[in-house]
Amino acid sequence: MRLIDLKLAVVALLAGVVWQAASAADADACRRFKWDVARELAVMQETPQALVAGVKPGTDIPQLAVGTLYVLKLADQSLVTFAAAPAKRNVAPGAHAGIAGFRVARAGRYRVSVTSGHWIDVLDGVQIVPSVDFQGHVGCKRPSKIVEFDLAARRDLTLQFSGSSDEEVIVAITMVAAPATG
């Protein structure tokens, strides 16, 4: 009986070591972004609010708040009507997509952080807002990709996800910290 207890203890110990190593590797991968992403990493560790993404533009799409973490349930991409065609038309087999809305109080640079491989478009009306920069890191799960946009204040903006087979996406919108002035 003691041999079985010893084997279980060894297995539990090894499982703990493997989990710690995996967690350390993920944390290390998340430190490899070329920007300071401390704000994004902090938001991505929160418990996400669950919402269902919209399948067509309109007033019934979910509204996202800056600085809040969400998990959006997406629909089969063939059922989604976009406000404007996605800027990247690459579609994975079994692709899922969705639409959400948001507003920013102040004009400036914002980041959309996600856990999936979806293409991300931000629209102002039906005009796609060009991304400024993006990064992604294999091994960092929350977030695995961050895209930056320069956004106007107090405008109804649309966030579109397309092109990935992931059925949901964890997403956060954050404002890039303004550089310190001396």
What residues does each domain of the chain span?
1-30, 35-175
Query: What are the Cα distances from residue 33, in Å, to 13, 96, 110?
Result: 32, 27, 16
Between 92 and 153, the higher pLDDT residue: 153
Question: Is residue 86 predicted with pLDDT exceeding 70?
Answer: yes
Q: Where are the alpha helices (DSSP H) in the chain?
A: 2-30, 38-44
In this predicted model, what pLDDT tens digit does every residue of 153-177 receive, in sequence order? 999 999 999 999 999 999 999 999 7
- Compute the radius of gyration of the chain from its Cα atoms: 19
Which CATH number among 2.60.120.380, 2.30.40.10, 3.40.630.10, 3.90.850.10 corresponds to the domain 35-175? 2.60.120.380
Is residue 157 within 8 A of residue 124, CB to CB? The reply is yes
- Helix (H/G/I), strand (E/B), else coil: 101: strand
Q: Please give the Cα distance from 168 to 50 (Å, whole number).
A: 10
